[in-house]
Copies of this chain bind each other. A is one copy, B any other.
Amino acid sequence: MNESANSKVTAGVDLGGTKIQTVILRNRKVVGGCRELTPQTGVAGDVIQAMLDTIRASLAEASAAESEIGGVGIGTPGEVDSKAGVVSLAANVPGFSDPVAVGPIVSEALGDVSVSVDNDVSVGVLGDARRGAGRPYKNLLGVWVGTGVGGGLMIDGKLHDGRGAAGEIGHMIVKPEGRRCGCGRRGCVEAYSGRAAMERHAQNLMKRGRKTNLFKIMKRRKREHLSSGVYAHALESGDPMTIKLIEQASWALALGIASAQNLMDFEAVIVGGGLGDRLGKPFIDSIAEQMRPHLFAPDDAPAVIGTELQDLSGAVGAAVLAGG
């Protein structure tokens, strides 16, 4: 933000349930980075210590001193009180179900540096919108397809969060009385397109006698859940159930995005998140193709594109949030 503060660097931290990704930006460029596994001890302090470790390791890679940090941004799952820097209900992050004052704690540990905290999906969309595939656009929708399906809106070049809860494209309804969603309702986009909902559906199909090699691949890759990589490998192997699951996922995303587009007339839609990034262009092109027949203005279809920053969107966006 401050053009004269070229000597300062900004740290961006993408906190996830399995990993912590941190980057250092100097003059808007990534000059250092570090990724670590998220400590699974269940103690919030251990997770925060790991975040600080990644920041310090990233600084070392950037040949920057701790005193050069102008700001730290943190993207996190769960509910975020941005003003207080407090995170709660982040069930995937061990120790973060109860409220954690991650902002103030990180600030103090780094010599009272300013720390900004926001929702991981918003921050990821911000990253790719400002520094990645979304740079040419001022009005865009980010759709982050991972364990769930989250979203973020850029309107007139700024993140738009309504009263704090905007962007839930995963809970737009694409089929009345349709498949049960993790949110308790039915027929949401996420019920067809989120990794967790797809896994539940696959288990139900198996119980009914349908075959798939999804869970074999999961075990072989030593995963506890169907990860994006597991879906990608099963898809490459030609597993019929996986093909069907991914078809249904792209169908639901296409319908939800089409409805969002008819309402908002975006210039572009960026599809990211773990599954979006992993399945990449064929998946995104399939969404774009299925979206088009539902557009009110098909000749003015939005660009439907993947992320440019891939799994760095979140960390870069967190740094952008902090002025980097």
Q: A residues bordering B, Cβ < 8 Å?
A: 139, 151, 153, 155, 160-169, 171-176, 183, 185, 255-256, 258-260, 262-267, 293-294, 296-297, 300
Contact in complex: B263, A168 (CB < 8 Å): yes
Tell me how far the C-beta of A205 lies from the nearest C-beta in chain B, rounded to whole angstroms. Answer: 21
Contact in complex: A267, B163 (CB < 8 Å): yes
Contact in complex: B265, A163 (CB < 8 Å): yes
Contact in complex: A266, B296 (CB < 8 Å): no
Q: How many copies does the complex hold?
A: 2
A239 to B125, CA, bound (A): 51
Q: Across the A-B interface, give the 6 residue pairs with the lowest CB-CB distance, nearest first.
A: A162-B265, A166-B265, A172-B259, A171-B296, A168-B262, A171-B262
Contact in complex: A162, B176 (CB < 8 Å): no
Contact in complex: B263, A165 (CB < 8 Å): no
Contact in complex: B265, A263 (CB < 8 Å): no
Tell me how far the C-beta of A2 lies from the nearest C-beta in chain B, rounded to whole angstroms. Answer: 25
Tell me how far the C-beta of A197 lies from the nearest C-beta in chain B, rounded to whole angstroms. Answer: 15
15 new A-B contacts, CB < 8 A, other than A168-B263, A172-B263, A185-B294, are A139-B162, A139-B163, A162-B264, A162-B265, A162-B267, A163-B265, A163-B300, A167-B263, A169-B262, A173-B259, A173-B294, A175-B175, A185-B293, A256-B259, A260-B263
B residues in contact with A176, CB < 8 Å: 174-175, 255
B residues in contact with A167, CB < 8 Å: 263, 265
Contact in complex: B265, A296 (CB < 8 Å): no
Tell me how far the C-beta of A304 lies from the nearest C-beta in chain B, rounded to whole angstroms. Answer: 15
Tell me how far the C-beta of A240 lies from the nearest C-beta in chain B, rounded to whole angstroms. Answer: 22
B residues in contact with A294, CB < 8 Å: 173, 185
Contact in complex: B263, A297 (CB < 8 Å): no
Tell me how far the C-beta of A206 lies from the nearest C-beta in chain B, rounded to whole angstroms. Answer: 26
Residue of B with least CB distance to A187:
B294
Contact in complex: B164, A265 (CB < 8 Å): yes
With A185-B293, A185-B294 known as contacts, the answer to whether A262 contacts B160 (CB < 8 A) is no
A255 to B172, CA, bound (A): 9
B residues in contact with A183, CB < 8 Å: 296
B residues in contact with A165, CB < 8 Å: 265, 296-297, 300
Residue of B with least CB distance to A160:
B155
Tell me how far the C-beta of A184 lies from the nearest C-beta in chain B, rounded to whole angstroms. Answer: 10
